[in-house]
Structure 1
Amino acid sequence: MGGQYRITGGKYPRMRPPRRHGRAVAVVAASTAVLGLVGWGTVQLIDVFTGGDTPTVAGSGKKCRTRTAAAPAARVESLPGPGRITVNVYNATKRTGLAKATADELKKRGFRIGDVGNASPEFDKKVKGTGMLLGPAAARNTSLRVLGTQLGGAELRTDGRKGADLDLVLGDRFTGLAKQEAADRAMTALTAPQPTASPKKSC
């Protein structure tokens, strides 16, 4: 170059290349896309582990949760009334007259009375609690439960008998049948329908 400006020496000044703004914009856009994908994947994982079927309220975008609430249901088994149950009353204690007095009270409460007397050698003076209720296996959740409302704390057993009659064996701690009011409350609780679970939505 001539004139007023001349370059001297063996070195030339280095020229810095212009900054590339396009590359920075591309990096920012890619990072945003990656973060979006990570967030979406997290939501999908949450749906997988929580069932993924949470309903949404129409027009609001708000999700509802399903809870379990109790709903009444009918009894699975129908229970027989006292008038359909025959009870044999046996005394396994050293005290006399218990079987007859207990049978008379049960009769007043509507039960049918079968045999009345002393317990067999299998149980005589061997029942330490208030009493023992015996019946066929089919009566475990029906007539034996009904008879059980009349004597709190009685042991319940089943055997291989063919008939439907029940045995009430009075034990050493027997002092009398349950009070009529208490027996009625126990019967009401026994025959009340049991609640079952039903889904309930809350938003």
Structure 2
Amino acid sequence: MSMLTPSGMGGKYRVTGNQYPRMRRPRRRGRVLAAMIAAVVVLGLFGWGALQLFHVFSGGDKGDTKANAAPQNSPSCKATAAPTPTGKPAPLPLPGGVTMNVFNATAKGGLAKSTADELAKRGFKVAKFGNAPDPYDKKVAQSALILAGPAGEAAAREAGTQVAGSTVKIDPKRTGKTVDLMIGTGFVTLSNPADAAKARIAAANPAPPKPVCAS
């Protein structure tokens, strides 16, 4: 037995040599590693929070807000669905309920009388015909210009079905339901009855108005 062996210890507990063995507690590496990971997570959270506070107080969200917000003055247009044709005549007066004056605004002679005669055959009431007054004489470029007051608007639209490419003009100062049909330089002939009937159906289902966009 060595001098370094404590009393009562022998066998496998025999200590040999000239020094006592150092008795150390086993290291708890798992706890140390967990503490290090927790410290890293806490520091990361603190850093992220500080970054968010800096972003808010420095006005960093202004650019994103402007990018995501819709422009204040952008047009807001909503398309209108086209009406479904019904195949029914337009709610216009019959030719017998339309009284009109036929005027020739072209340089071609006799056009007012021949047109008035044909319209009379189709049932329209022709009050008079002749050359167009000075404000319109040789100044109507389209096939026909149809003038009427507010009370004669429906009659004017009915007269317009007889001349393809005609334009209806409503004069708010005009009274009565009588219609003036000014034959223009673009006039060739009256629409045939079949085309006039199609024009009445189209007038029953007018194209939807164009959407108005707010600027």
Please state which band the TM-score falls in when normalised by the shorter chain: 0.5 to 0.7
Q: Which runs of 5+ in 2 are unaligned?
A: 1-5, 35-79, 209-215
Q: Please give the alpha-carbon distance, in whole angstroms, between the structure 2 residues aligned to 1:134 and 1:69.
A: 31
Compared CA separation, residues 9 and 180, structure 1 to 2 (3 A): same
Q: 1:184 to 1:15 in 2, by over 3 A?
A: closer
Q: Which amino acid aligns with 2:159?
A: L
The structure with the greater share of residues assigned to strand is 1
Matched, 1:158 2:170: yes
Deviations 1:13-48 (A, max 9, x none): 225669x9xxxxxxxxxxxxxxxxxxxxxxxxxxxx
Query: In the alignment, does 2:127 pair up with 1:127?
Result: no
RMSD: 3.5
Output the CA distance in 2 between the equivalents of 1:71 and 1:186.
16
Aligned partner (choices 87, 91, 95) of residue 108 of structure 2: 95
Taking the aligned partners of 1:80 and 1:98, their CA distance within structure 2 comes to: 25
- SS of equivalent to 2:24: coil
How many Å separate the matches in 2 of 1:126 and 1:97? 18
SS at match of 1:169: strand
Q: Which amino acid aligns with 2:127?
A: G
Per-residue CA deviation, residues 99-119 of structure 1 (Å, 9 max, x unaligned), is: 111111111212111121121
Matches within 5 A, 1:81-92: 81-92=94-105
Q: Distance in 2 between matches of 1:99 and 1:106?
A: 11
**How much does 1:12 deviate?**
2.8
For 2:116, give the aligned amino acid: A
The yes-or-no answer on 1:146 pairing with 2:155 is no
The count of aligned residue pairs is 146
The Cα shift of 1:133 comes to 0.6
Q: Distance in 2 between matches of 1:69 and 1:89?
A: 38
CA contact (8 A) 2:96 2:123 kept: yes
Q: TM-score, normalised by structure 2?
A: 0.55
Instruction: Choose the corresponding residue for 1:118, options 115, 125, 131.
Output: 131
Following the alignment from structure 1 to structure 2, what is the Cα–Cα distance between the partners of residues 120 and 71? 39
CA contact (8 A) 1:135 1:144 kept: yes
Is residue 176 from structure 1 mapped to residue 189 from structure 2 by the alignment? yes
1:10, distance to aligned residue in structure 2 (A):
4.4
Indicate the SS of the match to 1:99. helix
2:42 is aligned to none
Q: Residues 92 and 172 of structure 1 are in contact (CA less than 8 Å); yes or no, is this contact kept in structure 2? A: yes
d(CA) in 1 for partners of 2:163, 2:195 = 10
SS at match of 2:203: helix
For 2:197 and 2:93, the matched residues in 1 are separated by 15
Report whether the alignment pairs 1:11 with 2:24: yes
* Counterparts of 1:69 and 1:168, CA distance in 2: 33
* 1:185–1:72 CA distance, 2 compared to 1 (3 A): closer
SS of structure 1 residue aligned to 2:115:
helix
Structure whose alpha-carbon radius of gyration is higher: 2
Most deviating of 171-180 and 157-166: 171-180
Aligned to 1:57: none
